[in-house]
Amino acid sequence: MIGTATAARVEIPVDEVEVRAYTIPTDAPEADGTLAWDATTIVVVHARGGGESGLGYTYADVSTAKLIASKLAGVVRGRDATAPQSAWSAMVEQTRNLGRPGITSMAIAAVDTALWDLKARALGLPLCRLLGMARDRVAVYGSGGFTAYSPQRLAAQLAGWVQDGIPRVKMKVGSAPDEDPERVRLAREAIGPEARLFVDANGAYSRKQALELAGRFAQDARVSWFEEPVSSDDLEGLRLLRDQAPAGVEIAAGEYGYDAPYFKRMLDAGAVDVLQADVTRCGGITELLRVDALCRAHNLPLSLHCGPSIHLHPATALANFVHLEYFHDHVRIEHMLFDGVVDPVAGALEPDLERPGNGLELKRGEAERYAA
Ligand SMILES: [Mg+2]
């Protein structure tokens, strides 16, 4: 039966799976083309075994923590910490009737990333070494530029990343389509002529509207990346944009991919120039490695979505990796809650090879102030 996997014997049993959720208010009102928010919840998992503790997390609703405690912790306990793939298959089987996409997949992701981290720590290795490094450094792009920002705040944030040596930045569009060309021109002015400028509509535009704006963004501001110009569920619409937008504009989508078949459908439809995936949504490192294999087979680049600290180590191992989203909200939260967060140097993150696992430790005292 496909999906059933049983480890021959247990090397290091998982003793305990602990889950906590923390809700952190944003530092200003935030919005994109289709959503507004004022707080972000992170669900943090510790998996313990062999005297070590592995840490994983997802950005999800607090109900995800409840699901991990009620459905997944018992499945994983007693399993072999050196075989995260076995635990992954067992978690997928256990949640069959709940539906895989959405919070089920985010719950699996948080546990899976904790188990990979536990394995690395149990073997005394940085996680990137355990996974096998295809590169030492992971290119990032600065990401924020929320539609709720004033023009001044937008310009200052994007220009700040470029001044800090990150030569790629992304802004949100789509809340007020008539104002977007001017806002995008302003962003180009702020970052100067050299840096790459990305826009993300979060599916806010219609097909024809997106096509027209792709032309204007390219001509007026040399935008080179148009993310979710239309809904990522409209694969034909994405394909239309990919075929008809100016050649210098890459069409990207995939952040709502929760399982390998989703990414296969998107790639088979020829919907994107660059596939995006999020390890905290797609089912963890176990499934992310398979998404990379799909990109390899389709000869397309893979860009990673948000959560820079949890993506850093897996990103070093992916054959088709191109860049990682250095998302304002998550950068802020990861610095607040974790020790061991690394900062970009010359537009890239580099794993600290002196620290075991993913290098992260939860600052429990600080985190408890935000307990959800
Ligand atoms: Mg996006």
Q: Which of 74, 106, 124 is the last residue of a domain?
A: 124
Task: Note the pLDDT of residue 9.
Answer: 75
State residue 226 phi and psi, 5-degree precision: -125, 105
32: CA distance to ligand 1 center in Å? 9
Which pair of structure tokens corresponds to residue 78?
A: 């007693």
Residue 215 in any domain: the answer is: yes
Domain shared by 213 and 276, yes or no: yes
Looking at residue 255, its amino acid is: E
Residue 369 in any domain: the answer is: no
Task: Note the pLDDT of residue 4.
Answer: 52
83: CA distance to ligand 1 center in Å? 32
Domain shared by 271 and 141, yes or no: yes
Residue 11 in any domain: the answer is: no
Q: Which of 124, 143, 176 is the last residue of a domain?
A: 124
Residue 372 in any domain: the answer is: no
Domain residues for the domain of 86 are 16-124
CATH number for the domain that contains residue 49:
3.30.390.10
82: CA distance to ligand 1 center in Å? 34
Domain shared by 106 and 173, yes or no: no
Our count of domains for the chain comes to 2
Domain shared by 59 and 201, yes or no: no
CATH number for the domain that contains residue 172:
3.20.20.120
From the list 205, 172, 226, the residue with the least C-alpha distance to 32 is 172
Which pair of structure tokens corresponds to residue 355?
A: 């620290």
pTM given for the model: 0.97
Residue 151 in any domain: the answer is: yes
284, 91 contact by CB (below 8 A) = no
Domain shared by 76 and 171, yes or no: no
Residue keyed to tokens 């935000």: 370
Residue 371 in any domain: the answer is: no
Domain shared by 187 and 44, yes or no: no
Domain shared by 107 and 139, yes or no: no
131, 319 contact by CB (below 8 A) = no
Residue 10 in any domain: the answer is: no
50: CA distance to ligand 1 center in Å? 38
Task: Report the alpha-carbon distance of residue 298 to residue 320 in Å, rounded.
Answer: 10
Residue 366 in any domain: the answer is: no
Task: Note the pLDDT of residue 5.
Answer: 53
Q: How many residues does this entry show for the chain?
A: 372
Domain shared by 86 and 134, yes or no: no
238: CA distance to ligand 1 center in Å? 14
From the list 307, 342, 340, 351, the residue with the least C-alpha distance to 325 is 307
Give the pLDDT of the chain (372 residues) as one tens digit per residue. 455 555 557 889 999 999 999 999 999 999 999 999 999 999 999 999 999 999 999 999 999 999 999 999 999 999 999 999 999 999 999 999 999 999 999 999 999 999 999 999 999 999 999 999 999 999 999 999 999 999 999 999 999 999 999 999 999 999 999 999 999 999 999 999 999 999 999 999 999 999 999 999 999 999 999 999 999 999 999 999 999 999 999 999 999 999 999 999 999 999 999 999 999 999 999 999 999 999 999 999 999 999 999 999 999 999 999 999 999 999 999 999 999 999 999 999 999 999 999 999 999 999 999 999
193: CA distance to ligand 1 center in Å? 24
Q: Residue 227: beta bridge partners?
A: 200, 252
227: CA distance to ligand 1 center in Å? 6
365, 20 contact by CB (below 8 A) = no
338: CA distance to ligand 1 center in Å? 24
Domain shared by 292 and 275, yes or no: yes
3-state secondary structure the chain: CCCCCCCCCCCCECCEEEEEEEEEEEEEEEECCCCEEEEEEEEEEEEEECCEEEEEEEECCCHHHHHHHHHHHHHHCCCECCCHHHHHHHHHHHCHHHCCCCHHHHHHHHHHHHHHHHHHHHCCCEHHHHHCCCCCCEEEEEECCCCCCCHHHHHHHHHHHHHCCCCEEEEECCCCHHHHHHHHHHHHHHHCCCCEEEEECCCCCCHHHHHHHHHHHHHHHCEEEEECCCCCCCHHHHHHHHHHCCCCCEEEECCCCCCHHHHHHHHHCCCCCEEEECCCCCCCHHHHHHHHHHHHHHCCCEEECCCHHHHHHHHHHCCCEEEEEEEHHHHHHHHHHEECCCCCECCEECCCCCCCECCCEECHHHHHCCEC
200: CA distance to ligand 1 center in Å? 6
Domain shared by 111 and 136, yes or no: no
Q: Which of 124, 140, 163 is the last residue of a domain?
A: 124
230: CA distance to ligand 1 center in Å? 11
Domain shared by 104 and 146, yes or no: no
User: Which are the contacts of 164, defined by CB distance < 8 A and separation ≥ 6?
Assistant: 142, 344
341: CA distance to ligand 1 center in Å? 23
Give buried/exposed letters for 3-15 (b at 16+ CB in 10 A, else e): eeeeeeeeebebe
Domain shared by 342 and 253, yes or no: yes
Which pair of structure tokens corresponds to residue 332?
A: 């802020």
31: CA distance to ligand 1 center in Å? 12
